[in-house]
């Protein structure tokens, strides 16, 4: 059943917000890709909209097929005549293995990093527990991304982007990359991805420098 409400919160940078409706028990999450733009332009705080409310996986309510009040019906998702906003959003989402995802340089770097750690352990230049600690750190980083996405969907307190970058800088950059691709979280925002790439390079450079200065004398 179609409902009517008002957008009470909207984050244009992240592309989501919340709708308040008298027919809903709580504010309804809405993503930019589910918004059908019209003469009123992009979604914004205070805009009156019509929407379909759904509940998926025990999470809070989510709005689908959202459009401004008074706007004529628009083509359904997947129709060639979709509005520019709808057509642009899916195309901007990075896919694992695509150039936008960074897979062409991240995956080879992951493989080289793992081989280097294995070789250093074999040569007894680093303790045996280091690879295990690295895996644990990456799992914790993945969990941090999942927690942040869940908080965003529920309208709860978010993890700061700087904190997510610190996880990557500490060595969890592999887990961060997989979280971006699997969870579709922080995988589009250009400034975040640029900083993420910097943390990867800084971490690898720092590890290489530490090994060079403290390597056993021959």
Q: What pLDDT digit, counting tens, does each position of 58-98 carry?
A: 677 888 888 888 765 544 444 444 444 444 444 444 455 55
For the record, the structure tokens of 67 come out as: 């459009």
d(CA 66, CA 24): 15
Lowest mean pLDDT among 54-63, 89-98, 161-170, 206-215: 89-98
Domain ranges of the chain: 2-92, 99-214
Q: What is the pTM of this model?
A: 0.57
Q: To which H or E segment does residue 65 belong? A: strand 62-68
Count the alpha carbons within 13 Å of 189 in the hemisphere toward its beta carbon. Answer: 15
Torsion angles phi and psi, residue 52, rounded to 5: -105, 130
How many angstroms from the chain centroid is the CA of residue 67? 25
Second CATH level (architecture) for the domain 2-92: Beta Barrel (2.40)
- Of 22, 16, 18, 28, which Cα lies nearest the Cα of 4? 22
Q: What pLDDT digit, counting tens, does each position of 180-202 carry?
A: 999 988 888 888 999 999 999 99
């Amino acid at each position: 059943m179609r409902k009517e409400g008002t957008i009470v919160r909207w984050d244009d940078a992240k592309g989501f917000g919340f709708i308040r409706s008298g027919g809903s028990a709580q504010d309804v999450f809405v993503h930019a890709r589910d918004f059908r733009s019209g003469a009123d332009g992009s979604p914004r705080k205070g805009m009156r909209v019509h929407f379909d409310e759904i509940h998926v996986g025990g999470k809070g309510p989510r709005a689908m097929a959202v459009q401004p009040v008074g706007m004529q019906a628009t083509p359904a998702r997947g129709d060639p005549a979709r509005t520019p906003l709808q057509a642009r959003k899916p195309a901007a989402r990075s896919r694992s293995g695509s150039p936008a995802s960074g897979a062409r340089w991240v995956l080879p770097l992951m493989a080289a990093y793992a081989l280097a750690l294995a070789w250093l352990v074999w040569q007894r230049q680093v303790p045996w527990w280091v690879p295990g600690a690295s895996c644990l750190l990456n799992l914790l980083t993945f969990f941090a991304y999942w927690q942040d996405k869940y908080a965003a969907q529920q309208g709860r307190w978010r993890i700061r982007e700087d904190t997510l970058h610190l996880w990557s800088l500490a060595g969890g950059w592999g887990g961060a990359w997989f979280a971006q691709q699997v969870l579709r979280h922080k995988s589009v925002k250009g400034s975040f991805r640029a900083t993420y790439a910097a943390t990867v390079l800084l971490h690898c450079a720092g590890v290489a420098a530490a090994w060079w200065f403290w390597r056993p004398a021959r």
